Amino acid sequence: MSAPELTAYVTRDGAHRYPVDTPIWRCPETGAPVNLTEGEGLSRDDIDMAERSLWRYAAAIRVDKASRVPLGEGCTPLIPMALEGGNVRLKLESLMPSGSFKDRGMAVLVAYLKAHGISEVMLDSSGNAAGSLACYAGASGIKCTVLVPARTSAAKVAQMRAYGAVVELVEGTRQDVAAKALKLAEAGVFYASHNWQPFFIEGTKTLAYEIWEQSGFTVPDNIVIPVGYGSNLLGCRIGFDELKRRGEIDRVPRLFAAQPANVGALVRAFAANADTPVDFTPQPTIAEGVAAAKLVRTAECVAALRDTGGGAVAVAEEKILPAVRMLASKGALVEPSCALAATGYDQLVADGTISPDQDTVVVMTGNGLKSLDALME
């Protein structure tokens, strides 16, 4: 391998580059999202087998070790389960410390911000990212304010407040919440956005490492991921690409995004092969955790699906709660926002996109205990 490049922030077109010594969340000159330069990746010899968390992959995570506040994130179960379409393996990211996959990204992002002297943070969220940031910011001694839709489940709001965060409930759409957060960011509070700040994706890429390791250092044929803004999708793309560059795998799994039909921003962009958001009128969905109508990284998400030979699937609203009940009857209590991925898998098998005899991992991203309001209805 050639000598690794020093980590830096860079815009997608490569025209603007910034050192990571100063935390930013977007390009100061253009307002465009920034990514991190390519990481060195991981080999199986780099894994710290004594560490039972995502920090077993610390050799490939570009943050200061001293700033970490580990809470046991990562090392989630990968279990076999029979679905209507065939036998799959469920990746139970719902069993993270705060109850969602967001802990992979927040553990790394908060460690990075702490290492660089950030003492106050803010973000907007449909619920899970806010809970995760509240959790890790509180454990790190960082002041935290979160903005969430007024309709966010009471269980999620109570969780955020229990961690010590200031919670602001915002009336209107998910985009209205994001717009209010941007105004706060302009006022000077650091915007620790899981959608904008790329050190969050530096954490979610460990999902790829973990699936690879738990699969005996091989990769499945397909991975079906419930997608809102796409941080898990992009993390998998980056993580598997790093493993391939290191020669640990010879192919990247096909990546599929599952979304509610009522708010399927990526489904629409993928169908149009668009690099920018496609205009549509979102409708209410019980899958609040993936109700993102306008993606920050549309081009990267579409490329992750297209380049891996994957795709996007829309799940009708009336199929989401039955999927929750089906999974719960098999012992997996998950929230509607990720249960739809199981139905998405069934649809992909039914239309011939995925073969039932292929090895497919379906990612479960959020704990059902966070959506008791919906389940009680």
Q: What is the 3-state secondary structure (H, E, C) of the chain?
A: CCCCCCCEEEECCCCCEEECCCCCCCCCCCCCCEEECCCCCCCHHHCCCCCCCHHHHHHHCCCCHHHCCCCCCCCCCEEEEECCCCEEEEEEHHHCCCCECHHHHHHHHHHHHHHCCCCEEEEECCCHHHHHHHHHHHHHCCEEEEEEECCCCHHHHHHHHHCCCEEEEECCCHHHHHHHHHHHHHCCCEECCCCCCCHHHHHHCHHHHHHHHHCCCCCCCEEEEECCCCHHHHHHHHHHHHHHHCCCCCCCCEEEEEEEHHHCHHHHHHHHCCCCCCCCCCCCCCCHHHCCCCCCCHHHHHHHHHHCCCEEEEECHHHHHHHHHHHHHCCCCECHHHHHHHHHHHHHHHCCCCCCCCCEEEEECEEHHHHHHHHHC
pLDDT over threshold 50, residue 3 = no
Q: Report the share of the chain in percent with pLDDT over 70.
A: 98
pLDDT digits (tens, 9 = 90+) for 187-218: 888 999 999 999 999 999 999 999 999 999 99
Is the pLDDT assigned to residue 284 strictly greater than 60?
Answer: yes
The C-alpha R_g of the chain, in whole angstroms, comes to: 19
- Residue range 312-339: mean pLDDT, rounded: 97
Tokens of 80: 């076999």
Report the pLDDT value the prediction gives residue 179, as an integer from 0 to 100: 87
The per-residue pLDDT for 1 is: 45
pLDDT tens for 121-145 read 999 987 899 999 999 999 999 999 9
- The 10s digit of each residue's pLDDT in 161-184 is 999 999 999 998 878 888 899 888
145 with 164: CB under 8 angstroms?
A: no
Tens of pLDDT, residues 255-277: 999 999 999 999 999 999 999 99
Query: Pairing relation of β-strands 87-92 and 360-364?
Result: parallel
pTM: 0.95
**Average pLDDT over every residue of 366-374:** 85
pLDDT at 37: 97
